[in-house]
Chain A
Amino acid sequence: MPSLGLPIFGQTPAGGTPAPRWRSLAERDGRVDPEAGTYPDGEQPPPEGFSRRSFLQILGASTALAGLAACKPPREQVVSYVKRPASVTPSVASHYASAVSRGGYAVGVVVESHEGRPTKMEGNPGHPASLGGAGLHELATILDLYDPNRLAGVRRHGQPVAWSSFLGELSVLAAAHAKDGGARLRVLAEPTSSPTQADLRSRLLVRFPRARIDSWGPIADDAARAGTTLAFGRPLDPEYRLAGADVVLSLDADFLATEGDHLRQAREFARRRGQPAGMNRLYVAEASFTVTGGVADHRLRMRASEVLGFGRAVAAALAGHHGLPQLGPLGAPLTGDRNRQATAVAADLARARGRGLVLAGRRQPAALHALVAALNEALGNAGATVVYREPALLDPASGPDRLELLASELRAGLVDTLVITAWDPVYTAPADLDLAALLGKVPNVVYLTSRDDETARAANVVVAEAHPLERWGDLRGRDGTASIVQPLISPLVECVSELDLLAAFVDQGQLGAFRLVREGWMARAGDAGAGGSRASDAGAGGSRASDAGFDRAWSEWLAAGVVTGRGAAPTTPVKTVLATGRVAAALKAVPPVRAGLEAVFAPDDKLLDGRYAENAWLQELPHPVSKLTWDNAASLSPATAARLGVKTGSVVTLTLRGRSLDAPVLVQPGHADDSVTLPLGYGRTVAGPAGTGVGFSAYALRASAAPWIDAGLELKPTGRKHALAQTQEHFSMEGRSIALSYDVAELPKAVHELEEQRGPQPSLLPLVDYGKEEYRWGMAIDLGKCIGCGACTLACQAENNIPVVGKEQVLTSREMHWLRVDRYYEGSEADPETISQPLACVHCEQAPCEYVCPVNATVHSDEGLNEMVYNRCVGTRYCSNNCAYKVRRFNYLDYHGTVAPQLKMLQNPDVTVRARGVMEKCSYCVHRIEHARIDARVAGVKIGGDAVVSACQQACPAEAIVFGNLNDPASRVARLQQGERRYDLLHELGTRPRTAYLARLRNPNGELV
């Protein structure tokens, strides 16, 4: 057998420098110390409180009783429709378009529904913010619909009140407020772009001219809009067009996972990755390790407060060396290594004028956003890779400033009635406001929420809020594209929408959101006049014919998920004039960077601001970078941790501005030194069983003066430890080169190395030739495109009825995700590069699992799929032991039998729900293959090579996963698997996996290497 030439863990390859790969610091140092109470992978702890004798007694008894119980399965009932809706074919799924709000902006979704029961949310290919991809929150939102802990109805001090009588009370209350023009009425609303709500708010303000509506969102883009106000004189939203960007400099912007239209941005970015031709280059300057930082060609590790200085150094270099004197007053050079980096980045940006892009993160001050606007203007990127639009939000300012204003009024007792529709402000408000105490001073606090939470405890009246799949509404995307939010199911509990509640104040609460939305759009379509669009047909004076025209347009909007016609189209980008003087003054006013430990607040990738804390799917999803589940932790760099004498799991006391908090520490390689990242969204005190008491609440340290970056943090070890359930240390592949990556210039040299990692291997076993079959299913995963966000894992969980197991089970390596995303570090501990690798069953043609199953429960299909037959499995787990990829999952407990009844409505009826004692794994979405096969064969055609889309592929915003028929040479997967970057994982084992990987390419700047 020829030498594989693979680097061996712990050995120096001949003629090269050592390039060890490691998955955690513990692994790198060779100290994977099994702590007391934990067991290696797959090992079971001894049973407690249950002796062998009592086990045998129960075994005997149950055997004796088995004969009585197992005579026959019980007869089921079949329930037919009374009147079958024409659109429903029983046993065939329907799909409906809708939209969900992300920071007030629409993300288009397509919802799968089985006989009126929504089971899955996917991205809407026709929506500009999704393009078919789905993020973690779009995928996970459906779980909240069936949450058994949702609130129902209206409650005043815990006592139920009927909605109809509550409407009457609101009417009286509103009339009382109308007397003084609503001077003592305030609304604290969720940021939204809803046109219907815009109408409603203007009607509210007509009736209550002295009232005020404030928006509050704890992770708002206020600094970005303040920056454009500095630069251009008014708040604008930048829209990044990464398709045309050759060089991208992200100044602390996690634009691939948490900021802006991240799904569209990830897609546009990934389309320029992978193949060597036309690759873009990404520089990321950041403190905490983010998804975007993980795919950067150059990750410039710096404290968050130093990012502004770095941006100014880039501006200075551009002004000094590249003929952009207008940037002179904005620039300020740095010294040493940092300046060398800035000069190299500036040179690269200058080479790519009009084809470059600079972005700033929402954490950064307004001055940096203004500087970035100036850089893009000077480089000619404005208008090409970045355009500016009027914010589609009704209230562009939704940061702490507005909340402070409201708080001061509450403190002064100027408010009698406060309506809160913003999500849980008592929990999310900056700690210095002490909103909980202030709410006590308001006679009437009406709070709309879907679950009991911190604010609900402080409110007099709590109104249950409808889930987005239960209500009518509308939203706009960042570019102004409008979508109708349509319900898929009548409310599971008694609940209303934000529109219903606000409409009650103008005595329209009984109308219902449907009429508000539809009549609003009818008016807008009418206003548009004869514009030549379909919607404008409705504008001809309200005749029957035009009603029919509107009806047709309305149905089309609902079907497409996007409103077409006038009043709904994307806004046109605005022309901008840069005010350099104002930007320069703002930059000068920024205080200098303070030494010492710095706190950086970050929205959590999974829970965002905390509104998903009760979502068990998201809680159990491993964090994209730290692989942490069911917790958050204060991350800091290895050097800082060593200096402070803490390690992962140490509990420390954090003190900031006189407020203290205990939190566990997570040592994050690649984190900036002297900086601590505090993820928001955890530490809920009032949530359901999934979210209460999980992690710590970073809001408790957050001040309204410095909501994102705050200096002067003190950190003291307490000596206590906290078990963090990371999936990172599990499934270690013992340091072999698993996820390959090369610099794009190295690729010609690497081709030979890659060739050795594909192709046939000698085998003692008879080879089956699947080339003659009509279909040979396979997958290609492009590591060059993968950003490691974890959407595939969640899409798989939703599609395949994968249970949630809880923190204790994750700690014993019993997580059930069929598809995991492995994350490897490369290079130094202080500043490593990362590579993410999605891994599910690779469907080996010579599968090790199959040879060891004593009951033939895992076998090969005629098309070469590695099938798992649940009804044959007796749970020996031999297959899992023999699986080289460690992708099999065992149902140690009855995870499904113990869930609430309404959660069973969520389950996909096309996939078997597995019982206890059964092995399971990725099936390549075989139910989708079989559906496609039956449809094609009934129609008498072949399944197209790209026609079957796996759930992970469908969700992937970066298009990194491609599934299809390898026997169709025209299919995308076949072409990708023929490519030069293709390699097989653990090729030396000769398993002939059907899933092939494409090595990642990096495009580093020679000047910085």
Chain B
Amino acid sequence: MSALFSPRSDALLKLVLGLLAGGAIATLGGFMLYVRTPYGVSQNEQLVQPVMFDHRHHVQDDLIDCRYCHTTVEKAPSAGIPSTGTCLACHSQVWNKSPLLDAVRASWFTGKAIPWTRVNQLPDFVYFNHAIHVNKGIGCAECHGRVDQMASIEQAQPLNMGWCLQCHRDPVPRLRPLDQITNMKWQAPANQAEVGARLAKQYDVHARVSCTTCHR
């Protein structure tokens, strides 16, 4: 009686087993790598917004401070998306016939809100609070990047938990004076370790890493 399996089948079996094990590891590893890529965390993703709002123009050319539109950033968890009324405070006077602003005027006259697409999106179980960050010396640009150079807003940082914790474990390198919070061009000085430590003391910075700091 001939053998049930040819001598080659042993190697084949090893190959299949190897592929299965390798495939499993590669799949798992692939997913773990994927969620760490900028694509996986939606970093720098270009999004279409209902109004082609250009931060470059408003920040650089018009020198409008962030807080003019994002009014509640210093006192509330949410920085606040400007109301249609805020847009039209200026645009009822300037560019009041521009077709680019059709959607804004339509919103005003119909009373229907502008449906912006969220750019910096955190999971529902994360409770981020703008007020505490900007009051303790974390500038807008630390998380939002150089908004003054963005034609359309994109997510500048990974916004995953590891990235948050970098700063929560050691905020000193990123602390800036409170009068520089909205300054997009601020650069850390050469002696930031020293300045930051002083600021941390001055502002009583206690970056917490307990789970319920953000997850409630």
Interface residues of A (CB under 8 A from B): 72-73, 75-84, 89-92, 859, 861-863, 865, 867, 869-871, 910-913, 923, 926-927, 929-930, 934, 937-938, 940
In the bound assembly, the distance between CA atoms of A262 and B126 in angstroms comes to 40
Is A940's CB under 8 angstroms from B204's CB?
A: yes
Give 7 pairs: A residue, B residue, CB < 8 Å, sorted on A: A82-B85, A84-B83, A84-B86, A859-B211, A867-B215, A910-B216, A930-B127
A residues in contact with B210, CB < 8 Å: 861-863, 865, 867
The SS class assigned to the A binding surface is: loop
B residues in contact with A92, CB < 8 Å: 72, 75-77
Q: Contacts A77-B115, A83-B83, A84-B85; is A938 near B108 (CB within 8 Å)?
A: no
Q: Contacts A75-B117, A938-B131; is A80 near B81 (CB within 8 Å)?
A: yes
Q: Contacts A83-B84, A934-B131; is A911 near B216 (CB within 8 Å)?
A: yes
Is A910's CB under 8 angstroms from B127's CB?
A: yes
B residues in contact with A870, CB < 8 Å: 125, 215
State which of B111, B136, B216 has its C-beta within 8 Å of the C-beta of A937.
B136
A residues in contact with B77, CB < 8 Å: 91-92
B165 within 8 A of A: no
In the bound assembly, the distance between CA atoms of A273 and B85 in angstroms comes to 57
Q: How far is the CB of B118 from chain A (nearest CB, A)?
A: 4
In the bound assembly, the distance between CA atoms of A78 and B83 in angstroms comes to 11
B121 within 8 A of A: yes
Is A871's CB under 8 angstroms from B107's CB?
A: no
Enumerate the 4 nearest inter-chain pairs by beta-carbon distance, A residue then B residue, closest first. Answer: A861-B210, A91-B78, A80-B81, A81-B83
Q: Contacts A870-B215, A912-B125; is A78 near B118 (CB within 8 Å)?
A: yes
State which of B118, B135, B212 has its C-beta within 8 Å of the C-beta of A930.
B212
State which of A73, A84, A910, A938 has its C-beta within 8 Å of the C-beta of B123.
A73
**Interface residue ranges of B67-94 to A (CB < 8 Å):** 72, 75-78, 80-86
Q: Which of A72, A91, A92 has the most CB of B within 10 A?
A: A91
In the bound assembly, the distance between CA atoms of A927 and B126 in angstroms comes to 12
In the bound assembly, the distance between CA atoms of A82 and B83 in angstroms comes to 5
Nearest CB to that of A115 among chain B residues? B78
A residues in contact with B124, CB < 8 Å: 912-913
B residues in contact with A72, CB < 8 Å: 40, 42
Q: How far is the CB of B106 from chain A (nearest CB, A)?
A: 10
Q: How far is the CB of B152 from chain A (nearest CB, A)?
A: 14
Known: A76-B121, A867-B211. 5 other contacts (CB 8 A): A76-B117, A79-B81, A81-B84, A83-B85, A929-B212
In the bound assembly, the distance between CA atoms of A937 and B108 in angstroms comes to 38
B208 within 8 A of A: yes
Q: Contacts A84-B83, A90-B76; is A79 near B115 (CB within 8 Å)?
A: yes
Is A77's CB under 8 angstroms from B123's CB?
A: no
Is B216's CB under 8 angstroms from A926's CB?
A: yes
B132 within 8 A of A: yes
Q: How far is the CB of A855 from chain B (nearest CB, A)?
A: 12
Is B80's CB under 8 angstroms from A90's CB?
A: yes
Q: Contacts A82-B85, A862-B210, A930-B127; is A75 near B121 (CB within 8 Å)?
A: yes
B residues in contact with A867, CB < 8 Å: 210-212, 215
Q: Contacts A80-B82, A80-B116, A82-B108; is A89 near B72 (CB within 8 Å)?
A: yes
Q: How far is the CB of A285 from chain B (nearest CB, A)?
A: 48
Is B123's CB under 8 angstroms from A82's CB?
A: no
In the bound assembly, the distance between CA atoms of A494 and B135 in angstroms comes to 45
B residues in contact with A84, CB < 8 Å: 83, 85-86
Q: How far is the CB of A237 from chain B (nearest CB, A)?
A: 45
Q: How far is the CB of A664 from chain B (nearest CB, A)?
A: 41
B114 within 8 A of A: yes
**Interface residue ranges of B101-149 to A (CB < 8 Å):** 107-108, 111-118, 121, 123-125, 127, 129, 131-132, 135-136
State which of B78, B135, B212 has its C-beta within 8 Å of the C-beta of A923.
B212
In the bound assembly, the distance between CA atoms of A817 and B138 in angstroms comes to 39
Is B83's CB under 8 angstroms from A77's CB?
A: no
Is A938's CB under 8 angstroms from B83's CB?
A: no
Nearest CB to that of A865 among chain B residues? B212
In the bound assembly, the distance between CA atoms of A80 and B82 in angstroms comes to 6
Is A82's CB under 8 angstroms from B118's CB?
A: no
Is B83's CB under 8 angstroms from A80's CB?
A: yes
B residues in contact with A869, CB < 8 Å: 211, 215
B16 within 8 A of A: no
Is A871's CB under 8 angstroms from B125's CB?
A: yes
B residues in contact with A929, CB < 8 Å: 212
Nearest CB to that of B112 among chain A residues? A82
A residues in contact with B80, CB < 8 Å: 80, 89-90
B213 within 8 A of A: yes
Is B113's CB under 8 angstroms from A930's CB?
A: no
In the bound assembly, the distance between CA atoms of A137 and B44 in angstroms comes to 51
In the bound assembly, the distance between CA atoms of A80 and B116 in angstroms comes to 8
In the bound assembly, the distance between CA atoms of A75 and B115 in angstroms comes to 12
Is B123's CB under 8 angstroms from A871's CB?
A: yes
Is A81's CB under 8 angstroms from B113's CB?
A: yes
Q: How far is the CB of B177 from chain A (nearest CB, A)?
A: 16
Nearest CB to that of B206 among chain A residues? A937
B47 within 8 A of A: yes
A residues in contact with B208, CB < 8 Å: 862
Q: How far is the CB of B79 from chain A (nearest CB, A)?
A: 9
Is A934's CB under 8 angstroms from B212's CB?
A: no
B residues in contact with A90, CB < 8 Å: 72, 76, 78, 80-81
A residues in contact with B136, CB < 8 Å: 937
Nearest CB to that of B213 among chain A residues? A930
B residues in contact with A80, CB < 8 Å: 80-84, 113-114, 116
Is B84's CB under 8 angstroms from A912's CB?
A: no
In the bound assembly, the distance between CA atoms of A938 and B206 in angstroms comes to 12
A residues in contact with B135, CB < 8 Å: 937-938
Q: How far is the CB of B42 from chain A (nearest CB, A)?
A: 7
Q: Contacts A89-B72, A938-B75; is A82 near B216 (CB within 8 Å)?
A: no
B residues in contact with A79, CB < 8 Å: 81, 113-116
Interface residues as binary, B30-61 with A (CB distance below 8 Å gives 1, 0 otherwise): 00000000001010000100000000000000
In the bound assembly, the distance between CA atoms of A926 and B215 in angstroms comes to 9
Nearest CB to that of A862 among chain B residues? B210
Interface residues as binary, B163-182 with A (CB distance below 8 Å gives 1, 0 otherwise): 00000000000000000000
In the bound assembly, the distance between CA atoms of A81 and B85 in angstroms comes to 8
B residues in contact with A81, CB < 8 Å: 83-85, 113
In the bound assembly, the distance between CA atoms of A73 and B35 in angstroms comes to 12
State which of B108, B116, B212 has its C-beta within 8 Å of the C-beta of A861.
B212
Is A871's CB under 8 angstroms from B215's CB?
A: yes
A residues in contact with B72, CB < 8 Å: 89-92
Is A934's CB under 8 angstroms from B84's CB?
A: no
Is B129's CB under 8 angstroms from A934's CB?
A: yes
A residues in contact with B107, CB < 8 Å: 82
